Structure 1
Amino acid sequence: IEEIERKDIREGDYVIIEKGGDVIPKVVHVITKKRGKDSVITIPPQNCPVCNSKLIRPEGEVAIYCENNTCPAQVKGKIEHFASRGAMDIEGLGKAIIDQFVDYNFLKSYADIYDLHKHKNELIALERFGEQSINNLLSAIEESKNRPFEKVLFALGIRFVGAGAAQKLAHHFKNIDNLLKASEEDIENIHEIGPSISVSIKKFFATSDNLEIINRLRKAGLKFAIESTGETSEALRDFTFVLTGTLEKFTRDEAKEMIQQKGGKVTGSVSKNTSYLVVGENAGSKLDKAEKLGIKILNEDEFLSLIESAK
């Protein structure tokens, strides 16, 4: 909104667009000569277009939010995030199905996902569904209960808690009860976890509705604690890894977990601080940069050998 106001962009305007950073298109300026006489200044929305609740803009932020937890758009968005690939990874529970299930009141929160089996016959009777498709969905929901604590924590949709932060929090506090009892200071003592995350976590857990949802997810069998494998060590504590290309023998998440179990760190980009680049098929620009920087490059077999030797 600030950018729209600063450049006075209005509905119906002709604009000049260029690539920002050679990738993302951005509006350079408005061609005011082509602007119609009935043009009006863009005014930020005051109410949610879905539930009509008053919108808020937190201090220091540019985004505008609807804070109504019962807003259908909010409910759908939270469930979609919960079921997404990086979170609970529930195959078959995509946006279109979520929209339909919310509209039919089968889902009012993501905790309701684990009660869908109680409505099996009703779901089968819905248009464009059948017994096989519902059975597949219910099987995927049941299988999602195997996701580790860090995935569950990320799936909760706590503001500012992305996948990386959820992983750090899960491994530091070990279980949800320790996180619930932690102070803002305790949370901020974790490397790369700042005040915005700690405040957001405490606010999330201070809401009775959220605590009730967590209790329901616990009863459903989701994992709210780190499961010890007995195979952790600090052998790779001083080493930083980057993963690139298509891996065949394991997924990136599996490789990342193997590294972290040995105390290593995984980052998303190659730099002079990178210790190893693990490459699969179609490695691309990261491989080129690693070669220029003289970084050790490992194929999948070499990576597995390194992991096995790191005691």
Structure 2
Amino acid sequence: MTDAAGLDAEELRFADPDNPYLVEPDTDFAPVDSLPSEAAAEEAALLRAAVREHDFRYYAENEPLIADRTYDALFARLEELEEAFDLNVDGSPTQQVGGTTLDELRTVEHVRPMLSIDQSGEAEDVRDFDARVRGEVGDVEYVCEPKFDGLSVELVYEDGVYERAATRGDGREGDDVTEQVRTIPSVPHRLGGDPPAFLAIRGEVHIPRDAFQRHNRERVERGEEPFANPRNAAAGTLRQLDIEAVARRPLDCYCYDILGWEDGGRDAPATQWEELSILADFGLKTNERAELVDDIEEAIEYRDRLMAEREELNYEIDGVVVKVNDVAKCEQLGTTSRSSRWTFAYKFPARAEVTRVEDVVVQVGRTGRLTPVALLDPVDVGGVTVSRATLHNPDEIESLGVNVGDVVRVKRAGDVIPQVAEVVESNSDEPYPFPDTCPVCGSEVERDGPLAYCTGGLTCEAQAERAVQHYASRGGLDIEGLGEESVEQLREAGLVESLPDLYRLPDRREELASLEGWGETSADNLLAEIEASREPPLAEFLAALGIPSVGGATARNLAQHFGSLDAVRTAGEDELAEVADIGPTVARTVREFFANEENAAVIDELLEFVTPQEAETVDGAGDELAGLTFVFTGALSVPRSEAEELVQRHGGNATGSVSGNTDYLVAGEDPGASKRDDADANEVLVVEEDEFAALLAERGLEWPPEDDEE
């Protein structure tokens, strides 16, 4: 066991070597009621520092100084002192697990865009990356790290104290998961060492493999569905609104990149390798397998070594990340709209394992697509217990020749989604017979190339349930209170069997309020939300219908081209193909959706309650803003999407990040500091919203855009 004399001050992150609670602490504490307040405060301060140090040693370095039982005694004593003497301090370890429940996840803008990584599983592509880098900036060193199969997050600290966390989202904005991440033991509430005044970090939240297996076993024992893989479990956990439920999940976090650094005259680290070192000095968990190499061939060797040792790791990885070490050269290489040009991911091939097909079921999706799924004798695939795998479509079944009872090889496509790769041992005379009728509603199954679809449309129970979920989602009419679980509950109660039934709920208010977990207030709130959705903009209504291949952008194009729902419903394929971003395939899909008799009947019934508002038609893009590129930051008087749409509709470009090609950065309230910095660095003019309005007025354009509902 480590003794007090063996502790080196330079090895400690949060506590002084003389702290009596670091090594072999005396846990025979004096009664709380015998302590004067000053002594209690001093003891609590020592305990906080010691507990932070023990957390770092246990979670970040895997080198605990004391036994678990001793740690529990220290933690309990700290809780006792803080409660008895009202010593609650922001950032105390006792605040790691909260009991709050959030109403929703807010959206926050990142300090710096969290970009994607170009990737490949071919060594020649990695060498091509290296050749491009050296051609632009000369010789470089590379930092190599495991590519974690988790969920990217941004962590923000101010004066060393944890302030917020956000998911990657679209790279520019993400979900605020501050309280969820606060529960992760390896994320300190207060940094050690000498952190800057402002620090933003990129990290990866994941669930260790051993913890994932234990948690899944517990779920099965409780009769719950096991998680498919650690990444899905981590991602789903971070979006939980019940913080206590989050705290029960075994989340962990590795940190590996500095996104923002502000500290007066002290410069940020000059290399990626120094970044990892200084993050560890602050008490953040970094990965011990990172290496600094001299050239790309050493990076390739690193990848091959790590792939061979992959099964020994206690976390899921799907490749390695190769980063230019010199930060100045990284800045010189710059970024594209979606990825950093100074980093590359060298992926591993997908794993494959062997098991038996116990059954085959056919799932019906929201669009009516039928997807066969193999139910498997559970098998470990890369540390993940897989009990089901996709068979994709009828043609795939025929190609594989697979049926119930066959022994198959399972791989994880993209190292995440399980799929049947091949039949190793056939125990059947012919492939699984794909059904001719929908397993849910009995409607005829129609083939479209390799795919199969239920022709029941919105009258099919499976499609109807998913249709209601989509209709109420953020991608639809955003009816708050109608999530997946709520829709399922309403359907099971017989209150909502199709879209029009949503608007009949006011007549069944008492039944709604009597459901488990509802009540008068919840019922009235939902009914108010539904009432507010009766006159939606045409584009939102089209997106809410769940037309295959029609998302928000395509729905807006349809609305602007045709102006009214009737015009869209009656348009032929040739007319639909004239719409921006709609080709022949999508045009045919839209035409078939509206021509389907079952769909038409549901839409006609829905229109008895809903009146989609006509849209202003746009024959073609104007040229008032031609040649100009805008970036928006902060809160405007209208949603940012409307501002970007206006710019694009009049010939301009609206992008997400500032570059030398940007003409104007339009800053609303609480603008992002990183975009302003980028504007200064690229000599881009920053204008406030009123200046933007004046610029538009000079070109004959109105701001804010006219509201069709007024």
TM-score (norm 2): 0.35
The within-5 A match list for 1:177-196 is: 177-196=566-585
Q: CA deviation at 1:85?
A: 1.9
One of 30, 37, 44 as aligned partner of 2:351: 30
Q: CA deviation at 1:41?
A: 2.1
| Corresponding residue for residue 366 of structure 2 | none
Q: Is the 8 A contact 1:243 1:268 kept in 2?
A: yes
CA deviation vs aligned residue, 1:223-244 (integer Å, no higher than 9, x gap): 152269xxxx947352665554
Q: Is the 8 A contact 2:627 2:652 kept in 1?
A: yes
Q: One-letter code of the match for 2:501?
A: D
Structure 2 residue 637 is the aligned partner of structure 1 residue 249: yes
Q: Is the 8 A contact 1:81 1:87 kept in 2?
A: yes
Q: One-letter code of the match for 1:17?
A: D
CA distance in 2 between counterparts of 1:56 and 1:25 reads: 41
TM-score (norm 1): 0.74
Secondary structure, counterpart of 1:41 in structure 2: strand
Structure 2: runs of 5+ lacking an equivalent: 1-227, 230-310, 322-338, 355-379, 383-405, 411-419, 422-431, 701-710
Q: Is the 8 A contact 2:623 2:652 kept in 1?
A: no
Q: CA deviation at 1:29?
A: 3.3
CA deviation vs aligned residue, 1:25-67 (integer Å, no higher than 9, x gap): 976332779989x973244896799849899885478xx8766
CA distance in 2 between counterparts of 1:27 and 1:56 reads: 38
Q: One-letter code of the match for 1:263?
A: H
| Corresponding residue for residue 563 of structure 2 | 174
Q: Is the 8 A contact 1:269 1:286 kept in 2?
A: no
Secondary structure, counterpart of 1:17 in structure 2: strand
Structure 1: runs of 5+ lacking an equivalent: 1-10
Secondary structure, counterpart of 2:479 in structure 1: coil
Q: Is the 8 A contact 2:438 2:445 kept in 1?
A: no
| Corresponding residue for residue 112 of structure 1 | 501
Structure 2 residue 401 is the aligned partner of structure 1 residue 100: no
Q: One-letter code of the match for 1:18?
A: G
CA deviation vs aligned residue, 1:75-134 (integer Å, no higher than 9, x gap): 332212111123211112112211111222222222221111121111111111111111
| Higher helix content, 1 or 2 | 1
CA deviation vs aligned residue, 1:236-266 (integer Å, no higher than 9, x gap): 3526655544315332244346546x73556
Change (3 A) 1:134 1:274: same
Report the more deviating stretch, 147-156 or 102-111: 102-111
One of 545, 554, 559 as aligned partner of 1:156: 545
| Corresponding residue for residue 263 of structure 1 | 650
| Higher strand content, 1 or 2 | 2
CA deviation vs aligned residue, 1:194-240 (integer Å, no higher than 9, x gap): 11210111110111121122222322133152269xxxx94735266
CA distance in 2 between counterparts of 1:49 and 1:139 reads: 36
Q: Is the 8 A contact 1:90 1:140 kept in 2?
A: yes
Change (3 A) 1:136 1:35: closer
Identity %: 30
Q: CA deviation at 1:145?
A: 2.2
| Corresponding residue for residue 17 of structure 1 | 318
| Corresponding residue for residue 278 of structure 1 | 666
Change (3 A) 1:121 1:157: same
Change (3 A) 1:23 1:307: farther
Q: CA deviation at 1:154?
A: 0.8
Change (3 A) 1:25 1:258: same
CA distance in 2 between counterparts of 1:23 and 1:58 reads: 38
Q: Is the 8 A contact 2:542 2:555 kept in 1?
A: yes
Secondary structure, counterpart of 1:29 in structure 2: coil
Secondary structure, counterpart of 1:128 in structure 2: coil
Change (3 A) 1:216 1:52: closer
One of 207, 225, 229 as aligned partner of 2:614: 225
Q: Is the 8 A contact 2:471 2:545 kept in 1?
A: yes
Q: CA deviation at 1:278?
A: 3.1
CA distance in 2 between counterparts of 1:143 and 1:289 reads: 41
CA distance in 2 between counterparts of 1:235 and 1:129 reads: 52
Report the more deviating stretch, 285-294 or 215-224: 285-294
Which fold has the larger relative contact order, with Cα–Cα distance below 8 Å and residues 6 or more apart in sequence? 1
Q: One-letter code of the match for 1:124?
A: A
Q: Is the 8 A contact 2:662 2:684 kept in 1?
A: yes
Aligned residues: 292
Q: One-letter code of the match for 2:408?
A: V
Secondary structure, counterpart of 1:28 in structure 2: coil
Secondary structure, counterpart of 2:534 in structure 1: helix
CA deviation vs aligned residue, 1:114-161 (integer Å, no higher than 9, x gap): 111121111111111111111111111111224211110111110111
Change (3 A) 1:112 1:171: same
Secondary structure, counterpart of 1:90 in structure 2: coil
Secondary structure, counterpart of 2:491 in structure 1: helix
Measured on the aligned residues, the alpha-carbon RMSD in Å equals 4.3
Q: One-letter code of the match for 2:538?
A: F
One of 130, 146, 149 as aligned partner of 2:519: 130
Return the index of the structure with the highest Cα Rg: 2
Report the more deviating stretch, 105-114 or 145-154: 105-114
CA distance in 2 between counterparts of 1:179 and 1:206 reads: 11
Change (3 A) 1:23 1:71: farther
Q: Is the 8 A contact 1:102 1:108 kept in 2?
A: yes
One of 570, 574, 593 as aligned partner of 1:204: 593
Q: Is the 8 A contact 2:665 2:685 kept in 1?
A: yes
Change (3 A) 1:265 1:293: same
Secondary structure, counterpart of 2:476 in structure 1: coil
Change (3 A) 1:302 1:24: farther
Change (3 A) 1:144 1:264: farther
The within-5 A match list for 1:69-84 is: 69=457, 72-84=461-473
Q: One-letter code of the match for 2:349?
A: V
Q: Is the 8 A contact 1:90 1:141 kept in 2?
A: yes
Secondary structure, counterpart of 1:158 in structure 2: coil
| Corresponding residue for residue 5 of structure 1 | none
Structure 2 residue 429 is the aligned partner of structure 1 residue 41: no
CA distance in 1 between counterparts of 2:654 and 2:527 reads: 35
Q: One-letter code of the match for 1:250?
A: V
Q: Is the 8 A contact 2:456 2:598 kept in 1?
A: no
| Corresponding residue for residue 216 of structure 1 | 605
Q: One-letter code of the match for 2:637?
A: K
Report the more deviating stretch, 171-180 or 263-272: 263-272
Secondary structure, counterpart of 1:145 in structure 2: coil
Structure 2 residue 531 is the aligned partner of structure 1 residue 142: yes
Secondary structure, counterpart of 2:408 in structure 1: coil
Q: Is the 8 A contact 1:244 1:277 kept in 2?
A: yes
